[in-house]
Amino acid sequence: MSKQLVTQFDVKRPITAICSIFTASLILKLIFYD
């Protein structure tokens, strides 16, 4: 099920997925630095 969800999400909105990962990385950096 995970693979299907990831595949559909990646196919439908690859840019959104990339943005989400990038945003998550920035948040993690802020938390670690803070």
Task: Confirm whether pTM is higher than 0.85.
Answer: no
Could you identify the residue written with the tokens 């950096």?
Answer: 29
Q: How far out from the chain centre does Cα 23 lie? A: 7
Q: Is the pLDDT of residue 2 over 70?
A: no
Q: How far is the CA of 27 from the CAs of 3, 8, 16, 30, in angstroms? A: 25, 25, 16, 5
The pLDDT tens digits for 3-33 are 776 666 656 677 787 888 999 999 999 998 8
pLDDT at site 3: 72
13: left (phi over 0), alpha (psi -120 to 50) or beta: beta
**What is the total count of domains within the chain?**
1
Please answer whether residues 18 and 10 qualify as being in contact, where contact means their C-beta atoms are separated by less than 8 angstroms.
no
Q: Which domain, by its residues, includes 12?
A: 2-33
pLDDT at site 30: 93
Could you identify the residue written with the tokens 């196919």?
Answer: 11
